Amino acid sequence: RAYEWLLTRKAPEKIIVMGVSSGGGIGLRVLQMAATMDQSSCFRRHPVPQPAAAVLLGPFINYCPGPNCNLDHSINRNADIDLIVTQRVYEFLQPLMATACGGEDKKEAMSPLFNSIDGLCPILVSYSAHEVTADDCEQLVSNLRSKGTSAEALVQPYLMHCFQLWPSFLPEATQAEDDICTWIRKQGDAWRRGAT
């Protein structure tokens, strides 16, 4: 209900949703729930407007791949080269996914990648082509575009999950930060330089 609370204090055109990794998945799910009025939404009482835009940095949006299925998926393919979501992190977290989702059979229904993307605001997805979420980020952008949603992908090669958080160490992160800020400024008058 935090987004609904925020709308009581700011106009939607002055809100940008931003999330990193799992926070990107949560951000996308909030947008999906705000756009739907079915029983899965916590916003059932009235329609909730979308924010000006959303920025998702390496969003974790697919809870289905596992060590014994989807072997060519980037979460399996890149876990041994991703410096953040290493093989050890993956081995620790993967068995917990079914519990977090309410059971193995609910993982797909809980994954933001497989929920409705109708009526969403413009979305920028920034990720590395060699991180564990690469396949899902690419699929999300494709799905959004196929539904007519404004979606942009900023993709860098040979970097780890959430590389954007390291601009003091990675020139690619500094570039991603600049590109994200430029994109945000294009999302309406409230986001241009000098706007109040």
* Strand order across the 16-20 sheet: 16-20, 53-57, 123-128, 151-156
Query: What pLDDT score was predicted for residue 48?
Result: 85
- Signed CA dihedral, 160, 165, 168, 174: sign only: positive
The label of the residue with tokens 């009526």 reads 119
Give residue 41's pLDDT: 53
Question: Averaged in consecutive runs of 10 residues, what is the pLDDT profile of the chain (196 residues)?
Answer: 88 95 95 77 69 97 76 78 80 83 89 94 97 95 97 96 95 97 91 69
From residue 42, alpha-carbon distances to 1, 2, 34, 46, 168 in Å are 7, 11, 8, 10, 39
How big is the chain, counted in residues? 196
Alpha-helix runs per DSSP H in 36-102: 74-77, 87-93, 97-101
pLDDT score of 74: 87
